[in-house]
Structure 1
Amino acid sequence: MALHAELHRHLGGSVVPRILWRYLEQNSSELISRFTEYSTFEEYYTGKRNTLDEYLELHTLVESVQIVETLPYFIYRLIRGAYIFENLAYLELRYTPYLRTPDTFNQSQRIEKMAEIVDIVGKASQISEYPVITSQILCMHSRLPYEVNKAIIDLAAQNKHYVCAVDIAGGDIYYRERLEEWISLYDYALSLGLNTTGHLYETSNGCYPELLPYLRRIGHGIQIPLLYPELLPDLAKHQQCLEVCPTTYIKTGTLQDISKLKTVFDLCFANGVDIAICTDNAGLHNMRLPFEYENLLTHNIINFQQLQACQDAAFRHAFAWPHSQGPASLLNGLLNPKL
């Protein structure tokens, strides 16, 4: 049995449509009142959007119900599905804790409440019957003020037993006007010994070379091989891994055809840049990680040898994987002790 690592999955976008529908039926009927039946809700929830901004608006629907009282409900089902249907051995969940706090609180109260969110997510993710190694990535947000984003970094540093890295999310077009601020925040995170990743070079609006030196991994990064391939040797030199999420680029309208990703993989392999294949928002896409693999193979974007290289890279670049080897080597040792 192959075991996989998922390095880029959002907590908000991870809820599969059927589970969200059942929850809303029982608890928040007003949020689904405009849908006559489940099929129309699923079509809306998983449908293709025209822009990244339009796509990101879907997160607000889930964020509004992922609160202190309900997070264990959603996380249990998330981990169960990841273990049973995806064969995940390792999962990094990313989210903005501030957006899970009550919007009736003032900013200071919401910042203080974030610690409880991180603790709940951490404890709820440890499920003995579904032994997946999990860790959290806390996302700064492009539409949140500096004080909140700095508090998110401080919270990550104070909870390294649950948190493995910080990220920036919320729409890459908005980074430019506050670029010096993001640089200072990432520099601060590194000074605290935190790992870093960031939504960068996902779209043509998100190309900020100034931020690259501050990232251990790059969230998406597909525009580097597509538009700026001259940057690839430097990424290889610094061992920066791309977190490529194939279905996302079709859902957001970033790419019209998945075949465009062949250039991404070919150039990265040619230049020695690692890629981890990820789902991003498995629930919004109705997509499991093994199906991402299958789609890339079916469309002749990668071959089986390259797929194995990407799977190995995912464990090698996992921020909180506790072993020096991937699970295949560990299983071989258990099942074939003479090897």
Structure 2
Amino acid sequence: MTDLHAFIAGLPKAELHVHHVGSASPRIVAELAARHPDSAVPTDPEALADYFTFTDFAHFIKVYLSVVDLIRTPEDVRLLTFEVARDMARQNIRYAELTITPSSSTLRGGIDAHAFMDAIEDARKAAEAELGVVLRWCFDIPGEAGLEAAEETLRLATTEGLRPEGLVSFGLGGPEIGVPRPQFKPYFDQAIAAGLHSVPHAGETTGPGTIWDALNDLGAERIGHGTSATQDPELLAHLAKHRIPLEVCPTSNIATRAVTDLDQHPIKEMVAAGVVVTINSDDPPMFGTDLNNEYAVAARLLDLDEQGLATLAKNAVEASFLDETGKAKLAAEIDAYTTQWLAR
């Protein structure tokens, strides 16, 4: 496995399911907490390991929102965004669709919408120029915040003069239990009409019915998590036939107790059914992981060699909303790296 770890570390990668605030490293969280000492979040990076130990999904959301509350100024937003890209560059992530929940900053945090957009766009351009990391945005509705947040997310995603250049998709996150997907249909309809792709979370902590709702009511082109899809053979067949990718985040599913044991993770059944699977880290520092580690987990669960891992990496490229030229370039880079590695 040592050689595979080294192969993974150098493998050019794309990531499709990773959260903006949830990617804040302990160093950055501690720095933000020190800036805002009225917060309950620890200022010691080592103490954050205990703080980020979750009893269940509801507890994870509570802790996550306490970190959201540290993002109070445009300068905080810019710092976080660029530093997330720096961590990605260290892992040879070449392209990422970063899920941002802007309503948490504009409604909950009181940051001016234009200043927020300027901050993420400035960081995006700097990340590409200085780090070689191409970032695109998914704006997602925090399901627990209800329709007011949905309205605000849609406004920020579709209003001329606000909608950022890097925005490619529209999502739905947060708790699934007690938050039915169909209520968000009008917002997804309008986002799709405005040219955005649909990428809601579904079937992480609820059954396959939530995934069907995401497909039928929200026009989902990819499914965030989709962990319970394996409970419904008809759903698996539908996902495979229509090449609707699942954004799978193994360690996250264990950390939030969506899956009880890694060896029982349904990723094996997903792949066996012919479903397109992509590997992602979700909220990596909070779950004590990163994308390289998630590839190593996938290699063990799926018994993959270097070529199998390269195929997983190309799955993410193909499932991304990168333009066709960019996809071809990144896929070719993955192939060239793999060929060179195997010829050693």
Partner of 2:102: 97
Secondary structure of the structure 1 residue equivalent to 2:257? coil
Secondary structure of the structure 2 residue equivalent to 1:202? coil
**1:83 maps to amino acid:** A
Partner of 1:88: 93
Identity %: 23
Are 1:212 and 2:211 counterparts? no
Query: After the TM superposition, which of the residue ranges 95-104 and 15-24 deviates more from structure 2?
Result: 95-104
Deviation at 1:115, TM superposition (A): 4.1
Give CA deviations for 1:117-166 in whole Å, capped at 9, x if unaligned: 23321221222220111011001121334344134224323436220100
Q: Distance in 1 between matches of 2:172 and 2:119?
A: 22
Deviation at 1:202, TM superposition (A): 0.6
**1:29 maps to amino acid:** P
Partner of 1:325: 328
Deviation at 1:224, TM superposition (A): 0.3
Give CA deviations for 1:252-301 in whole Å, capped at 9, x if unaligned: 1111211112xx33332233211110000012123110111112323x43
Secondary structure of the structure 1 residue equivalent to 2:125? coil
Q: Distance in 1 between matches of 2:189 and 2:55?
A: 34
Partner of 1:275: 277
Secondary structure of the structure 1 residue equivalent to 2:46? helix
1:328 to 1:237, Cα distance in 2 relative to 1, 3 A? closer
Contact conserved, 1:242 with 1:275, CA < 8 A, in 2?
yes
Give CA deviations for 1:207-244 in whole Å, capped at 9, x if unaligned: 4222213100000001001x113211111222210000
Aligned counterpart in structure 2 of residue 222 of structure 1, from 227, 243, 250: 227
1:333 to 1:204, Cα distance in 2 relative to 1, 3 A? closer
Q: Which runs of 5+ in 2 are unaligned?
A: 1-9, 340-344
Q: TM-score if structure 1 supplies the norm length? A: 0.85
**2:170 maps to amino acid:** V
1:324 to 1:73, Cα distance in 2 relative to 1, 3 A? closer
Are 1:74 and 2:74 counterparts? no
Partner of 1:44: 51
Contact conserved, 2:137 with 2:166, CA < 8 A, in 1?
yes
Contact conserved, 1:316 with 1:326, CA < 8 A, in 2?
no
Q: Distance in 2 between matches of 1:223 and 1:326?
A: 34
Q: Distance in 1 between matches of 2:104 and 2:32?
A: 19
Runs of 4+ in 1 over 6 A off after TM superposition: 331-334
Deviation at 1:15, TM superposition (A): 0.6
**1:31 maps to amino acid:** S
Q: How does 1:182-201 map to 2 (within 5 A)?
A: 182-201=184-203
Contact conserved, 2:121 with 2:164, CA < 8 A, in 1?
no
Contact conserved, 1:247 with 1:285, CA < 8 A, in 2?
yes
Contact conserved, 2:248 with 2:267, CA < 8 A, in 1?
no
Q: Distance in 2 between matches of 1:240 and 1:81?
A: 29
Deviation at 1:205, TM superposition (A): 5.5
Deviation at 1:309, TM superposition (A): 2.4
Deviation at 1:103, TM superposition (A): 4.0
**1:162 maps to amino acid:** G
Partner of 1:120: 119
Partner of 2:36: 28
Secondary structure of the structure 1 residue equivalent to 2:206? coil
1:36 to 1:134, Cα distance in 2 relative to 1, 3 A? closer
Deviation at 1:17, TM superposition (A): 1.3
Are 1:59 and 2:64 counterparts? yes
Are 1:294 and 2:296 counterparts? yes
**1:224 maps to amino acid:** A
Secondary structure of the structure 2 residue equivalent to 1:6? strand
Q: Which runs of 5+ in 1 are unaligned?
A: none
Q: Distance in 2 between matches of 1:278 and 1:180?
A: 26
Q: TM-score if structure 2 supplies the norm length? A: 0.84
**1:155 maps to amino acid:** L
Q: Give the superposed CA RMSD.
A: 2.6
1:151 to 1:288, Cα distance in 2 relative to 1, 3 A? same
Contact conserved, 1:297 with 1:303, CA < 8 A, in 2?
yes
Partner of 2:258: 254
1:328 to 1:259, Cα distance in 2 relative to 1, 3 A? same
| Aligned residue pairs, count | 318
Give CA deviations for 1:78-136 in whole Å, capped at 9, x if unaligned: 1111102x10100111121111126475xxxx7xx334323321221222220111011
1:143 to 1:36, Cα distance in 2 relative to 1, 3 A? closer
